[in-house]
Structure formats: structure tokens, C-alpha cells
Amino acid sequence: MADIFDRFAPLMAQRDSFFTEAGADPFTVRMDQVISQTEAMIGNRRTILCGTNNYLGLTFAPEALKAAHAALDDFGTGTTGSRVANGTYVGHKALEDELKTFFKKDHAIVFSTGFLANLGVLSTLMGPDDFIVMDADCHASIYDGVRMSQAQIIRFKHNDAADLDKRLARLADKPGNKLIVIEGIYSMLGDTAPLKDIVAVKKKHANTYILSDEAHSLGVLGRFGRGLPEQDGVEADVDFIVGTFSKSAGTVGGFCVSSHPKFDTLRLVCRPYIFTASLPPSVVASAAVNLSIIRGPEGGALRKRLRRNAQHLHARLTNLGLKIASGPSPVVAVVAPSPEMAVAFWRGLIEAGVYVNLALPPATPYGYSLLRCSLCAAHTEEQLDEVVAIFGRVAADLGLIERCARKVAGA
């Protein structure tokens, strides 16, 4: 008799061969104590955290902690329902006002997670006569959102504005709207979209809009941390910006901002917004405070330190002879030659006191097996040098790089 989970048997067999037999399972890693933004106790081992997406280190910002504690005392631990059913708390309105100020947009809507933000906006915006033209390497939340829409879905080659142009040209005689969907920084490899070129393509085609997911570029790119559109000087040409508070903003939740005059229609028609419990008051309070930090002088200083750390780690790991998936970025993804080698590499790093993300195909672009590092402004140069030394020793033990021991000594 067939079991309800039988269709997952090949996946579970793969998991067992990668993790159980190798004695290394990322799903069993437990942080028993968080010491700081960059260190935790995993079991009885002090571990450097290089896989948290905590780009600016704001998870322990004193101002945010104070605001969260005050909101807990004043409003309790949760809202116990959606804003449509249970009402809007003053903190939700304050956070949306902060988002409008931050991004210089007319409208903002807050979701309970970044995943729900993409799911809600993309499943709602486009109808059956419309087209969504998306970068092939977009995040899973984007794929799920467009699949839930009634629009026709077309993928273009990753970061290829010319291919995007060709696909839009084929739709020139088709009625309906077209929505280009991209990301600012792509989460797996750390590369950025060619946004200026994509905007130029958009302007060639009628009834065409751009939605950019700035989850990994919020707080990271641009003078004031507004992401890739700010950095590239094309904010007015990006119609919808989606993002999350779970990276640079140091908490959880998602949002979408826009200056489209009819944007607030989403509050009446977007099911993941209408039927999901709203964020707890403590979360929205800390998110609003951290956004104000990001756009202020302290945020600028943190971005400079983050860039310095990203360049430092990228250069040192490259000097070891390791293959890095993209240029310097807060995401530094080391490419392993096979999934099995990536698992062994990850296990060696964890046992030596470095935590990174293990990412394996089919969840990765180009079938890469990745050791994905995400930098934090709070990392010290000494910590990063220790990370490089450990990468070098583990890589040498696995036979991945030649003369690694000598290179590590000079790292």
C-alpha cells in the first residue's frame, strides 16, 4: 500500500547519502547560546557565525531592544489575528510610515514575512491576460508567488537584459500588462542585477512595470541603504519594491512599497495579507527603529564596514585558490566540486568552529554546491582571518587546493 510520503523517497535517500552517512546534517545544528551578532555556542563549541544574513549586525541594537521591550509591555506578545479582522495597531501604521519615509514612496504595506510579501504581491498584481517576465534565478518565494498568479510566466536568462528585451519584444502585440521581476542581490551567489540595463529595456515596451526584491540589498547598497535602485539612480523607474526585515533590519517580516496611486487596493484583494495574522507589536517596533538606524549616519558607517569585510573575505578566500561564485559582495559563496565534497567541507568547518550555509542542487543556480558565507558589519578582521585559516585547513585536508597550508600561513 502506498504511503502519503512515498513520492519523496528519492529526496530522502539523497538526504541520507549526503548527511546521515557522512555524519553531518545541517538540520541538526542547534545554537544553544547566541553570544553576539557574530558568535554562538553550538554544543560546547564557540563558533564564528558566517551564515546569518545579519548584514549590519542590528539584532542587538540597543534602541531596537528598548523599543521591542516597551511594545511587549504596552501591547502584549501578539495581535492574534489579521489587521482586517483584528484591527491595525499603532506600531503597524508607524512602521509603514517609516517605510514610506525610508524609500521615499507614497505607499507601503507590511506582511508577516518576506516570503508572504512576494507571495501576496505577485499572486495578486497580475491577471490572466498579463505576463510576468522573471529572472531565472529568482528566489523560491518569487516562483511560488508567480505560480499562484493567473498570469502567463516567462523566464529570461539570469542577469541578461538582452534576453529580457527579446522576450518582451515577442509580447509587443499581446494585450495586458507586463511585470519584470528581479532581485537586487541574488541570495545564493551574491551577484547583483544589471538594473540600469533592465530599466532601459522596460522603457522600450508599453505597459511594462518592474518589481525588485531588495531582501539582500536593503541596508547594504545605496548611500542611505535603500538598495540597488538607489545605488543605480533609478528609484523612480522601479514600480514595486519588495523586501524583508529578516536580514539587515535584524528581525522578521516583509513589505512592499510603491508610488502607484492605486497601490492600497492590495489591502482589499491580497489574500496572504488579509488572512494572515499581523506581526507582533515588539517586532514592528524593532523593525521601525532599525530602519531609522539604517538610513542615518550610523547606517552609513555600518555599510562601509560591511563592504570592507566583504572585500577582505573575498580576497583572502580567492588567494587560497578557492572558487568564489561572484565578485565581492556581502554574500561570499565558495563553490565545491560536488555535493558530497560540499557536505564534507561544511562538516569540517562546523567542527573547527565556523558556521556557514550549505546549499546544494537543485536549490542552487547552475547546479553549484555552495558553502555560502554572509558577512556582518560586526565581524572583526581577526575573526575573518580565523575563518580564512579554517577554510584553508579544511580545504587542504580534503585535497581541494594545492599548497594550501603555505597559503594559509601567509593569509
- What residues are annotated to the active site? 187, 216, 247
Contact call for residues 121 and 256 (beta carbons, < 8 A): yes
* Cell 585547513, residue located: 393
- Measured at the CA of 63, the angle between CA 224 and CA 86, to 5 degrees, comes to 90
Q: What whole-number distance in Å separates Cα of residue 242 and Cα of residue 146?
A: 14
Contact call for residues 349 and 338 (beta carbons, < 8 A): no
Q: What whole-number distance in Å separates Cα of residue 61 and Cα of residue 289?
A: 9
Residue 250 falls in which region: left (phi positive, over 0), alpha (psi -120 to 50) or beta = left
- What are the backbone dihedrals phi and psi of residue 372, each rounded to the nearest 5 degrees, phi first? -95, 115
Alpha helices in 88-159 (DSSP H): 90-103, 114-125, 140-148
- What are the backbone dihedrals phi and psi of residue 410, each rounded to the nearest 5 degrees, phi first? -100, 5
- Measured at the CA of 104, the angle between CA 100 and CA 110, to 5 degrees, comes to 25
* Cell 541570495, residue located: 187
Q: What whole-number distance in Å separates Cα of residue 241 and Cα of residue 255?
A: 8
Q: What whole-number distance in Å separates Cα of residue 194 and Cα of residue 265?
A: 30
Contact call for residues 221 and 231 (beta carbons, < 8 A): yes
Q: What whole-number distance in Å separates Cα of residue 45 and Cα of residue 132?
A: 47
Contact call for residues 249 and 110 (beta carbons, < 8 A): no
Contact call for residues 199 and 124 (beta carbons, < 8 A): no
Q: What whole-number distance in Å separates Cα of residue 344 and Cα of residue 346?
A: 5
